[in-house]
Structure 1
């Protein structure tokens, strides 16, 4: 479907983006590159939604399909040692958003060459997927008011699946998530006389253990839920019992009642443990992303298109990771899709400092986008 020179150029875009990662709402260079390419191919381009988002449209008619790629990087120090490794200290494309962007650009170039008939296609290059909810901000800024879409699709590379695999589940794909920060306070004192201070560190340790067991004790074994304590910050010396500790982590779930139960019981657990150790505890609990739930018809459409390409579209279980594409699926019918992208041999996972997008799957994802648009608009 694609000229080899165009595939090579898409790989070059991807590696250029990898060398120049930008964090959420700061993707200025990335957005400029995207907009310049799209305008050069004849797309109608708008910039500025969610600060650094880029939206482009091609075609005429009332029927419309939206395709989304995320463009932000992560605050991770890269450890790949590659020639195209990040040149920005403390930042890297450890989730493959550079590949998602290049994939959609390759498809956009082909669609501009072939033309779009039967309706229009909207490309959404979204900032700040990692933690900051760029999808929600784009919607609040008028994304679907300005660019109406009948349905919306997103692709994520999935190194846990072999190339040639495509997964679009009916219903649950990825979990909802929340973050929490617990502050524990009490009397500090000398480590040789712990009876003269409160058990701030002991309380933090007990909370870390108890919270991670909470879903198993409070939710049915048939209802998914995860609480992970990821940080404990306290103390400054070997011989000092500190007067303050901070415990941070995440909670994840699919069913709304499970999310409510986790939040309520989490608060009960921390208050009980704090009281038992003579301490005070407060919690800042923030629900960030809803669950990513595919529409049945659109997921089936994605599987049909993948199957026509010869891809294996067999079932796979959902992931407890989270994705802000959920906000778009709350607004429009659509599907979130995993594209197999495992590497032979060493195959670092997403968010690893050793991760690098598998360029071999760029043309596969781009072909899927082109075929999906044709299928939707011809229907």
Structure 2
């Protein structure tokens, strides 16, 4: 560990970020604080990226010219009301760092400091502080703004903390890591009536209930058993009285899978299921189906090199290569579509609350390990 980057300093930074969560494209305070910390070490940077709150900084090695790589951390929080009551709990009502991006930001800042203190490598390291990972695709925005043209790099790497893995454990996938992410909103419109006389109306609630069941068959009976997919209805909005059959119902949810062809097939069958159910019940249907994030795939060669680095680190006692990919999603996928690289998981603790849970907190014991991983990766790849 660096002499200037101590566990106490990392904890101080992390707790400050945790106390002041900001959600997608609103990370003004977070971005400004990142820039302030970087400037204190004289690190060059560009701010105002990725819709206005992204930051890219860089450090050049003392061994002369060489390759350039990118290290990425997400900086945004979630619309979650925190249930923790410790001193560094969220001070912003309804917003919380429930996914550990406060820790990811801290680890990358620590790595930037450590590498300026001892830049024993060749080439350049870019530190990418990306906004709006949660749902809004800040990674896509940074790519579309010309991230890789403005900051040329041969490869890009990411890290996420992972509850359920012990601190000191890591997981590396050779290929698929996180699923593709689509969302949908379906509105069914019928004819409202008195609940005692349903024959006088067109029942949108009955149709919606049948539709929820029908959609599950697309995955359980039409998706090949060797492929993984999830289709979940997560919202159901209808009616506001005991004795009135509502005129409209709205369903919302998400679809996840890894295979691009299957992704298109699921959308097609979803639209067919909605249309046929609406026709059967004599309803009008509207569909808003949005493809959000592609699946996240590691480049096998780069994943292997990351695993080798982890296996040689003193803070890591186990590197898992056998874990299945997650059906959660990650907009780092947009960066990996443009450049080779790898996205790994670092254990946040066996007893850690789940990601996106109001009781979650990033484990401060992980921060020095994350800094160590980033610096060891740089010195291995660029050394």
TM category (shorter chain) comes to over 0.9
Q: What SS is found at the alignment partner of 2:232? A: strand
Partner residue, 2:17: 17
Equivalent residues in 2 for 1:211-250, closer than 5 Å: 211-250=215-254
**Distance between the aligned counterparts of 1:333 and 1:151, measured in 2?**
5
Return closer, same or farther for 1:73/1:2 CA change in 2, 3 Å cut-off: same
SS in structure 1 opposite 2:125?
strand
Unaligned runs of 5+ in 1: none
Q: Which of 322, 325, 331 is the aligned partner of 1:318?
A: 325
- Look up the SS of the partner of 2:49 in the other structure: coil
| 1:260-299 equivalent positions in 2, closer than 5 A | 260-299=264-303
Report the CA distance between 1:5 and its aligned residue.
6.6
Aligned residues: 376
CA distance in 1 between partners of 2:206 and 2:85 (Å): 41
Query: Which stretch of the first structure deviates more once superposed, 3-12 or 82-91?
Result: 3-12
Q: Which segments of 5 or more consecutive residues in structure 2 lack a partner in the other structure?
A: none
Counterpart check, 1:376 vs 2:381: yes
Distance 1:99 1:306 in 2: 19
Tell me if the contact between 1:159 and 1:350 (Cα under 8 Å) persists in the aligned partners.
Answer: yes
Residue in structure 1 matched with residue 198 of structure 2 by the alignment: 194
Structure 2 Cα separation of the partners of residues 85 and 339 of structure 1: 23
- Alignment partner of 1:363: what SS? helix
Which 4+ residue blocks in structure 1 deviate beyond 2 angstroms? Answer: 2-6
Q: How many Å separate the matches in 1 of 2:45 and 2:4? A: 26
Q: Structure 2 vs 1, CA of residues 5 and 64 (structure 1 numbering), >3 Å: closer, same or farther?
A: closer
* CA distance in 2: counterparts of 1:329 and 1:43, whole angstroms: 26
Q: TM-score, normalised by structure 1?
A: 0.97
SS in 2 for 1:284: strand
Q: Where do residues 156-171 of structure 1 align in structure 2 (5 Å cutoff)?
A: 156-171=160-175
CA contact (8 A) 2:66 2:382 kept: no
Distance in 2 (alpha carbons) for counterparts of 1:353 and 1:308: 35
CA contact (8 A) 1:2 1:363 kept: no
Tell me the SS of whatever aligns to 1:273. Answer: helix
Give the whole-Å Cα distance in 1 for the aligned partners of 2:166 and 2:76. Answer: 24
Q: Which residue of 1 aligns with 2:137?
A: 133
Per-residue CA deviations over 1:310-351 (Å, capped at 9, x if unaligned) read 52112211001100000000000000110011154xx31000
Does the aligned pair in 2 maintain the 1:218–1:261 contact within 8 Å?
A: no
CA 1:5–1:135 in structure 2 vs 1: closer, same or farther (change >3 Å)? closer
- Taking the aligned partners of 2:178 and 2:136, their CA distance within structure 1 comes to 17
**What does residue 184 of structure 1 align with?**
188
TM-score by length of 2: 0.96
Distance 1:120 1:323 in 2: 25
1:129 CA drift (Å): 0.1
CA distance in 1, matches of 2:217, 2:130: 36
Candidates 96, 104, 112, aligned match of 2:116 = 112
